[in-house]
Amino acid sequence: MTEKIITPIPITKENFAKYGDMISTKDIKPLEINNGYAKRYDGIANLNTSSDNGAGFEFVSIVKNGTGVGTCVFINRLAAAGLPDSGTGKLIEFEYNSSNVGSITTNGSATAYNVSSDYRLKENVVNLTDAITRLKTLKTYRFNYKNNSELTVDGFLAHEVTAVPEAITGTKDQVDSNGKPIYQGIDQSKLVPLLTAALQEAVVKIETLETKVAALEAG
């Protein structure tokens, strides 16, 4: 029997690179937190699925069973010692093709969910018109979800929201290759511009009628 001698070598970011990122604090200056009682290291690992074009399973899956207490994901932005405003700013940033498209931020007392809306990102900008006509096509309902019969909510049926198609994801009755439903979703915040424009149109109509009524009463 031939013996094979395996000689261990130290793991470094460089020799481990073909397998992924090695989490290491080497050459990274920590940020002091908790009034100097702890140190935080930022940017020590990068998760990237570009090598397989992101195919296959979910990139990150976080599951918590129904027993016990606690949260699935806990994000805490701590202020650095002596820098009270350092705890404010972005909690999560979303990018598409390396361009920022949104973020979740905190100012220390509240959380904001942001979608990029800078004018420099936009073109073909025109006024929103005929909003009342479009708004009237929206059908609203009260209902409960099948997994919670005790909670009744207000809302829409996603496939009926044709007035604002960009608010809808998926298609009606869509299924995957195994016949499992792929449910539609709705981002109700995308209805706000239409609601705003419809209200502005309604205000103009009201003010016009008020002017006419005032003229009739004065005559």
pLDDT given at position 87: 59
The more confident residue out of 178 and 39 is: 178
Structure-derived torsion over alpha carbons of residues 152, 157, 158, 162, reported in degrees to the nearest 10: -140
Query: Burial, 112: exposed, middle or buried (Cβ in 10 Å; 0-12, 13-18, 19+)?
Result: exposed
Residue 84 pLDDT > 60, yes or no? Answer: no
The more confident residue out of 65 and 148 is: 148
2-18 mean pLDDT: 85
pLDDT band at 72 (very low <50, low <70, confident <90, very high): confident
113-143 residues labelled b (16+ CB within 10 A) or e (exposed): eeeeeeeeeeeeeeeeeebeebbeebeeeee
pLDDT given at position 28: 80
pLDDT given at position 47: 64
pLDDT tens readout for residues 163-174: 999 999 999 999
State the fold for domain 126-219. Arc Repressor Mutant, subunit A (1.10.10)
Residue 109 pLDDT > 70, yes or no? Answer: yes
What are the φ/ψ torsions at residue 89 (nearest 5 degrees)? Answer: 125, -155
118-139 mean pLDDT: 95
The more confident residue out of 169 and 78 is: 169
pLDDT band at 53 (very low <50, low <70, confident <90, very high): low
pLDDT given at position 187: 95
To the nearest whole number, what is the mean pLDDT of the chain?
Answer: 85
Q: Are 153 and 144 in contact (CB under 8 A)?
A: yes
Candidates 132, 90, 79; CA nearest to 114 is 90
Kind and range of the H or E run holding 202: helix 192-218
The more confident residue out of 56 and 95 is: 95
Residue 134 pLDDT > 90, yes or no? Answer: yes
Bridge partners, residue 153, by sequence? 143
What are the residue ranges spanned by the domains of the chain? 16-84, 88-122, 126-219
pLDDT given at position 186: 96
Question: What is the SS3 assignment for 197?
Answer: helix
Cβ neighbours of 80 (radius 10 Å): 16
Cβ neighbours of 164 (radius 10 Å): 21
Candidates 121, 102, 120, 101; CA nearest to 112 is 102
**Of 37-46, 51-60, 144-153, which range is least confident?**
51-60
pLDDT given at position 133: 97
pLDDT band at 199 (very low <50, low <70, confident <90, very high): very high
pLDDT given at position 26: 77
Alpha-carbon distance 163 to 160, whole Å? Answer: 8
The two tokens of residue 139 are: 């059908």
